[in-house]
């Protein structure tokens, strides 16, 4: 199966968002990763609905929305209406995770669950069949540009095992500190989707960087 690249617009230039989204449209990027932070679940605030609407006006690729917010249930319909194709919530932010996942799917979106670096894979045992995407955080969520946590490799292997054992169709996404130094090792461990923010947008040539990362992930 082809491994996918999902550049994170958190590292884009918001004063030139149309330019940056068009760059992604014309690149080898598969999805557009959109990080929503509320200043409560994580110690940072990123952006909300008006910015996502602006992104959607230009985006020609799947919108992979990663919610780092408390009480995501309150906004599921609204994220659907502004173009989310995949909606990922945090395990740590959902008291009734199973209900939340059903509500996301009822809106016709793919349902994702993100795990913080400290959350064990076995926390997903009883919901893995209901999940389309597991986002393994390879940094503590809240900021771009942090360094990759090495313990992630072990979690990818454990998660791959859980998915195979259960017969789940969930994809494994890695989010945080992804570069050309760890991409190949991550897909070898079982990753299907690599999110990359700073590595793409701070590069001299983002289009070329995406292309190379995708080649590396599929080599
Ligand atoms: C972190 C976000 C990430 C972030 C990744 O909380 O979920 O998606 O944008 O940025 P880099 O690739 O710079 O670590
Ligand atoms: Zn993210």
Which pLDDT score, from 0 to 100, does residue 39 have?
98
**52 CB less than 6 Å from ligand 1?**
no
Place of tokens 């259960």: 166
Which pLDDT score, from 0 to 100, does residue 133 have?
99
Which pLDDT score, from 0 to 100, does residue 157 have?
98
- pTM (2 d.p.): 0.98
Strands 110-115 and 133-137: parallel
What gap in Å lies between CA 46 and CA 69, rounded to an integer? 11
Residues forming the active site: 35, 175
CA of 99 to the centre of ligand 2 (A): 22
CA of 170 to the centre of ligand 1 (A): 21
The ligand 1 atom at the shortest distance from the C-alpha of residue 66 is 7
Which pLDDT score, from 0 to 100, does residue 78 have?
98
Contact 146, 182 (CB under 8 A): no
Name all domains of the chain by residue range, CATH numbers in brackets.
Answer: 4-217 (3.20.20.70)
The ligand 1 atom at the shortest distance from the C-alpha of residue 196 is 12
CA atoms within 13 A on the CB side of 89: 28
CA of 163 to the centre of ligand 1 (A): 24
The ligand 1 atom at the shortest distance from the C-alpha of residue 197 is 12
Which pLDDT score, from 0 to 100, does residue 89 have?
99
Which residue's alpha carbon is at the smallest distance from atom 6 of ligand 1? 141
Which pLDDT score, from 0 to 100, does residue 104 have?
99
Which pLDDT score, from 0 to 100, does residue 188 have?
98
Closest alpha carbon to 119 in 151, 147, 148: 151
Choose one of 10, 20, 34 to mutate for the ligand 1 pocket test, by most ligand atoms within 8 angstroms of C-beta: 10
CA of 8 to the centre of ligand 1 (A): 7
What gap in Å lies between CA 10 and CA 144, rounded to an integer? 7
Which pLDDT score, from 0 to 100, does residue 112 have?
99
Pick out the chain residues at pLDDT < 70.
none
What gap in Å lies between CA 87 and CA 179, rounded to an integer? 24
């Amino acid at each position: 199966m082809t491994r996918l690249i999902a550049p994170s617009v958190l590292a884009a230039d918001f004063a030139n968002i149309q330019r940056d989204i068009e760059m992604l449209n014309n690149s080898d990027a598969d999805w557009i990763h959109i990080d929503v932070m509320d200043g409560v679940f994580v110690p940072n605030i990123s952006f909300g609905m008006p910015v996502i609407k602006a992104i959607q006006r230009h985006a020609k690729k799947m919108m992979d929305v990663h919610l780092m917010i408390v009480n995501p249930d309150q906004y599921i319909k609204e994220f659907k209406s502004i173009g989310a194709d995949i909606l990922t919530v945090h395990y740590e932010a959902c008291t009734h995770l199973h209900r939340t996942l059903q509500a996301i799917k009822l809106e016709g979106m793919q349902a994702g669950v993100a795990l913080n670096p400290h959350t064990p894979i076995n926390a997903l045992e009883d919901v893995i069949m209901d999940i389309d995407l597991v986002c393994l955080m390879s940094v503590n969520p809240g900021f771009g540009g942090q360094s990759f946590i090495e313990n992630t490799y072990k979690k990818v292997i454990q998660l791959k095992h859980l998915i195979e054992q259960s017969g789940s169709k969930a994809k494994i996404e890695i989010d945080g500190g992804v570069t050309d130094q760890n991409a190949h090792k991550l897909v070898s461990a079982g990753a299907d989707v690599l999110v990359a923010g700073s590595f793409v947008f701070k590069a001299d040539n983002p289009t070329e960087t995406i292309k190379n990362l995708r080649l590396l992930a599929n080599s």
